[in-house]
């Protein structure tokens, strides 16, 4: 069955700390991978995506993620977090195809303390 | 880009009542999706439209749920005989057709509370 797992449900960091959020997927065939962010009171927004090519992808606001096919992982990283990064982060996988629907993980709530 | 618009933002209803939500996607997007999100969970896929055709429905979508996209523009999601378990955030998303890795653009959602 297709699934996405995020093992960190709640992360608390101080400003300037480094961030790594785990994401593992189970998906047959070609997979496209995404990280979305939801700031308090706002809609889900795309941070970055991987669909082919360089497995290290860079997104907005200094975020990056690395696709490691052998580990079925797509972890999100940021070298130095800011208070404004406080949000919920969702990893998602999709195979494209006829529907291009996405399967989401359960999310990681990040709280950055000033 | 005016974004995906959903109405209403909040809906409180009594068990057994019917409710209808509306989604206006980004105008040039052919693909439209409905998702449901409950507390502590990620969005779960409900159904998908390509233009006016409903091409996929999740088994989460019981026969009390129906979705339409009559002219390939806005979409409605109706829940009949609501139950307390229907309480959730209902999200709409759209994307352009063509690229199979196009990201989904989400609306702010409609939060349903069934009392």
Q: What distance in Å separates residue B13's CA from the closest CA in chain A? A: 22
Query: Taking CB atoms and an 8 Å cutoff, what residues of chain B touch A97?
Result: 100
| Cβ-contact A51, A107 below 8 angstroms | no
pLDDT bucket at A13, cuts 50 / 70 / 90: very high
Q: What distance in Å separates residue B17's CA from the closest CA in chain A? A: 27
Q: How far is CA B51 from CA A73, A96, B13, B25, B110, in A?
A: 33, 17, 30, 11, 22
Average pLDDT, chain A: 93
Q: What average pLDDT does the segment B79-83 reach?
A: 97
Taking an 8 Å cut-off on Cβ atoms, the answer to whether A46 and B103 are in contact is yes
Residue B69 φ/ψ, nearest 5 degrees = -145, 75
| Cβ-contact B22, B76 below 8 angstroms | yes
Among the partner residues A9, A43, A101, nearest to B107 by beta-carbon distance: A43
Collect contacts of A27-30 with beta carbons under 8 A, ≥24 apart. Answer: A27/A2, A27/A3, A27/A72, A27/A93, A27/A95, A27/A103, A28/A2, A28/A95, A29/A95, A30/A95, A30/A96
Residue B19: name the closest of B85, B80, B72 by CA.
B80
Taking an 8 Å cut-off on Cβ atoms, the answer to whether B33 and A90 are in contact is no
Instruction: Dump pLDDT digits (tens) for B11-33.
Output: 999 999 999 999 999 998 999 99
Residue B48 neighbours by CB under 8 Å, 6+ apart: A99, A101, B31, B32, B33, B34, B54, B55, B56, B57
Average pLDDT, chain B: 93
């Amino acid at each position: 069955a297709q699934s996405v797992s995020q093992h960190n449900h709640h992360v608390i960091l101080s400003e300037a700390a480094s961030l790594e959020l785990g994401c593992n997927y189970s998906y047959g065939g070609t997979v496209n991978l995404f990280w979305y962010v939801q700031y308090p009171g706002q809609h889900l927004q795309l941070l970055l995506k991987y669909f082919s090519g360089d497995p290290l992808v860079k997104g907005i606001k200094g975020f990056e993620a690395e696709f490691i096919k052998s580990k079925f992982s797509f972890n999100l990283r940021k070298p130095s977090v800011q208070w404004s990064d406080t949000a919920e982060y969702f990893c998602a996988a999709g195979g494209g195809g006829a529907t291009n629907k996405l399967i989401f993980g359960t999310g990681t709530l990040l709280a950055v303390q000033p | 880009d005016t974004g995906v618009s959903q109405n209403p933002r909040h809906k409180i209803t009594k068990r057994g009542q019917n409710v209808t939500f509306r989604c206006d996607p980004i105008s040039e997007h052919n693909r439209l999706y409905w998702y449901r999100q409950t507390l502590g969970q990620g969005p779960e896929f409900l159904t998908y439209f390509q233009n006016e055709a409903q091409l996929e429905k999740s088994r989460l979508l019981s026969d009390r749920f129906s979705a339409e996209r009559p002219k390939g523009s806005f979409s409605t999601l109706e829940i009949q005989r609501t139950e307390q378990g229907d309480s959730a955030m209902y999200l709409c998303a759209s994307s352009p057709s063509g690229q199979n890795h196009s990201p989904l653009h989400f609306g702010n959602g409609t939060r349903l509370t069934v009392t």
